[in-house]
Structure formats: C-alpha cells, structure tokens
Amino acid sequence: MTEALLDVRDLRTRFYTQDGVVKAVNGVSYAMQPGEILGVVGESGCGKSVHAMSILRLIQIPPGKIESGEVWFGGRDLLKLSEEEMRRVRGHEIAMVFQDPMSSLNPVYTVGFQICEALMLHKQMTMQQARNRAQELLGWVGIPEPRKRLDHYPHQFSGGMRQRAMIAMALSCEPRLLIADEPTTALDVTIQAQIVNLVVRLQEELGMAVMWITHDLGVVAEMVQRVNVMYAGYIIERGEVLDIYHHTRHPYTQGLLGSLPRLDEAPGTKLVSIPGLPPDLVALPTGCPFYARCLHRTEQCAEAMPPLVECDQPGHLVACWHWQEIAEKTTK
C-alpha cells in the first residue's frame, strides 16, 4: 500500500474560554492517500473546520491550543515544525480555500496582486512572471477576461468569481493537498455545482488530494472516495462513500442521511429529524456524545465512549456499541 500523504494521529484541540474549556477536537485519527478526495461531514460545531485549521496550525493561541497529537505530512510532523517551516508548507504544499471568500481576500489589494504574492514567495518568480501565471490561473478556473480581472478588487467580483479566484490562489503553487472548508456554503445552487465540478476537474488534472469539508452529505455523494463523519469533535464513522450511504452503521449518520430529500422516495415521504441538540463541548458526557439524542442508547453508552472499530464492511469504521443491531435492522 502506498505511503499516506496525510496521517493524523490522536489530534486534540481545546479553546480556553471564560465559560470553561471547549473540547473542539477529541482524538481524531485517519490517513489520506495521494490523489484521494476525502469528505469531512457533520453539523455545525462538530469540529470539522477546527480540525482542518489544526492541521495547518492556524488556531489562534490563546484562546486555542493544540493539546496533543501528530500530523504527518511528507515525512514530517507538522506540529513539531518551526513557524518559519510551517509558512513554507502553507500555500505551497498544503493550500486551503475558506468558506467566505470576501473575508479571505484582502479588500485593499487587487486579486492579481494577492495571487502574485504567493507565487513570488514560494516560487521565487518576478512580478511579471507571477502576473503571467496568475492570468493563466484565472483563465483555468473559468474567470472571463483574466488579464483585465487581475487589476480588479474583490468587491468587483461576484461571490462565485471570488471563490474561483480563491481556488486559483490556492492552486497557484500546485499543492499536494487542497483543503476546501465549506467553499460553496454562501453560493446559490447553480454556482455550487460549478465550483464542485471545477474542483473535481482540477483534482484530476493535477493529481492532488482534496479534503472537502461540508455539512451537506448531498454535495459529497458523487464527489469523494471516503467520508469522515464527525460529531462533537470525534470521528464517529469513516469509510468508502458507498458504504457510508448504503450500509450506514451509526445512528447519527442515519439521521443525517434521513434529513436529505430523495428523488426515489414516494411523494409525501417525511424527512427524518434528529431529536435534541448537540452536546455542550465544555461539558461533554463521559460516554458516547450522541447518547442523549440516540434511539438505540443503553446504559453502556452512557458509561464509556465506544472505540472506532471496523464493522462488517472492510475499511468501514464506526464508533457505536450497537452497530451490529443497527446492521441487522437495516438489512431486514
């Protein structure tokens, strides 16, 4: 088996606030292969973005702190690198596209300058070389009149065009891993589809790995190879995308999938909602964090957090004491 491109081991991130310690990421472990598209899904506040920011060490200290863990990339533990070494990794080897392109792009600099800046820093290009490359990149991501657009400011771009410009900036140094943190959330459905298709096409052309973070399981259905389902800072289910959709073994994942409208369902079929609210990350329960909302709960669930173990499908991992009972009910 090929050596993993990214290997995250027991990553834990905390935020020290006036209300207490927020346990945002709680022992996350997984590996990504070169060229893989990985989906990271879960509802708001489950730790998706914080875990990605922890990988790039973008957590603000204080109040945040990466308490423990290892993040292996290119034979190095990123958590042990100096800040200078991390600056050479960010944007060059690992790039990130953020949720809101308007707040990610600097409003007082032209879009062209912001793309050129990364090329001059990481690729040692002259300004003219960087401008030529930036023009190519804007054309590559589908922005019309790229030469003219280089000298425009972010407010002169539409939301979809700003996100395309952010993708162009992220890809400027040909990273080995692109982390896309809910890049389509603020966009309308048509533009969402265009951005998803663009990222898939660029991934195929460049052969890079992509981590696609979203709360929308529908977006990742035909896009990713593997899925990490997160809840309360834990990975509670992980596996091939078809296994996750067709052989769901965690009640939380079942709830997420049940909340999606389906074209193959009879008219009038009601969507499923998950009862209750997510747990308070300042006061996480001793056992399974989904305990209070779960229809399959028992006393065992309240006493101990279930480990992430392989279930009936090879490579399909689940953190649930009762996954076998769930499997039996869903196969009847």
Radius of gyration of the chain (CA): 21
- Name the residue among 162, 180, 158, 6 with its Cα closest to residue 76: 6
> pLDDT grade, residue 158 (50/70/90)?
confident
Percent of the chain whose pLDDT exceeds 90:
27
Residue range 63-102, pLDDT digits in tens = 989 999 999 998 899 999 999 889 888 888 898 888 776 6
User: Using CA atoms, how far apart are residues 13 and 113, in angstroms rounded to an integer?
Assistant: 34
Contact yes or no for 41/227 (Cβ under 8 A): yes
Average pLDDT over residues 90-116: 83
The secondary element (H helix, E strand) that includes residue 12 is strand 6-17
- Using alpha carbons only, give the angle 257, 316, 249 rounded to the nearest 5 degrees: 40
Per the model's pLDDT, the better-predicted residue between 32 and 168 turns out to be: 32
Residue range 274-314, pLDDT digits in tens = 888 888 899 888 889 988 888 888 888 888 899 998 888 88
pLDDT above 60 (res 264): no
Q: How far is residue 133 from each of residues 127, 139, 171, 288, measured CA to CA in Å?
A: 10, 10, 11, 50
Per the model's pLDDT, the better-predicted residue between 201 and 21 turns out to be: 21
Residue 321 structure tokens = 């004491």
What is residue 267's predicted lDDT score, i.e. its pLDDT? 65
Average pLDDT over residues 123-151: 87
| Preceding omega of 146 cis (within 30 degrees of 0) | no
Q: Would you call 171 helix, strand, or coil by DSSP?
A: helix
Residue range 172-190, pLDDT digits in tens = 878 889 998 887 776 677 7
What burial letters (b/e) apply to 135-152, b meaning 16+ CB within 10 Å? Answer: bebbebbbbeebeebbeb
pLDDT above 60 (res 1): no
pTM of the model: 0.87
